[in-house]
Amino acid sequence: MKTSRKFFAEFTGTFILVLGGCGTAVFSSSQSFVGILGVALAFGLSVVAAAYGMGHISGAHLNPAVSLGVWAAGRMPGRELAPYICAQVTGAIAAAAVIFLIVTGKAGFESIGGFAANGYGEHSPGGYNMLAALVTEIVLTFVFLLVILGVTDKAAPSGFAGLAIGLTLTLIHLISIPVTNTSVNPARSVSQAVFAGGWALEQLWLFILAPVAGAILAGIVYKSICTQKD
C-alpha cells in the first residue's frame, strides 16, 4: 500500500484521537458531569472510531510509541517509522490547533489554562512527583502495547481489536489521569504542550521518553515470549 495513503490515515486517525480526547478535556473541564470518566471514555471512543475508520489502511497506530512498539515486535519495517511518526505528530498538532481556535472563541475567554497538557509535580492533577509519573507512563504504555500486539496477532479473533484497544485506553486513562493527565502517546503530549507552552514544554521530555521506553520494551517482550512456537 502506498506510503501516502498510510500517512493520510495516520494523520486523520491521530487528529480524531486528539480532537475527541483532548477536546473533551478542554471544553468540558468546567462541567462536573463529565469528569475523569467522561474524558477517559472520550479517548477510548476516539480510538475505536479511528481504528475502525482507518485501521484497514495503516493499522491505526495513532501514536509514535505504538509504531515503535510494533516495530520492536518485528511487525513493521523500519523505513515506515519516520513517515508514521511525522503523520501522527502533525495530525495531533492540527487537532490541537482546532481545539485552540474553538476555546479562544468563547465569550469571556481569558486563558487556555493547562490545555489538557501532561505534567508532574505541581502540574500533576493529583500532585504526583516525577518518579511517579515516569513509572506510570512506562508501565501503562507497556501494558497498552501488550494488549495491542495481542489483539492484532494473527491468532487472535478478528474484528474486535479496535474495541479492545479502545476499552484498554479508557482503563489506562481512569488509572492515570490523576497522576499525569495521561499521555502514553508522545504525539498527544507534543500537540498540547506546543499550545500550553512554558512548563508543559519543560516537562515534555518525560512524556516522550517514558511511553517510547514502555512501548519498545513491550515489543521486545512480546516478540521473545508471546510469539514463540510451541
Q: How far apart are the first and last CA of the chain?
A: 33
pLDDT tens string 111-140? 898 999 999 999 999 999 999 999 999 999
CA distance 16 to 228: 35
Ramachandran category for residue 171: left, alpha or beta (phi over 0 → left; psi -120 to 50 → alpha) = alpha
Question: 37-64 pLDDT, tens per residue?
Answer: 999 999 999 999 999 999 999 999 999 9
Which residues have CB under 8 Å from 116's CB, separation 6+? Answer: 22, 25, 26, 29, 181, 192
Q: Taking the domains of the chain in order of start, what are their residue ranges?
A: 3-226
pLDDT at 95 over 80: yes
What is the C-alpha separation between 90 and 98, in angstroms, rounded?
12
DSSP at 157? P
* Model confidence, pTM: 0.94
Q: Does domain 3-226 have CATH number 1.20.1080.10?
A: yes
> Per residue in 26-41, is it b (16+ CB within 10 Å) or e — as a string?
beeeeeeebebeebbb
Q: DSSP string covering 41-93, please?
A: HHHHHHHHHHHHHHHHHH----SHHHHHHHHHTT-S-GGGHHHHHHHHHHHHH
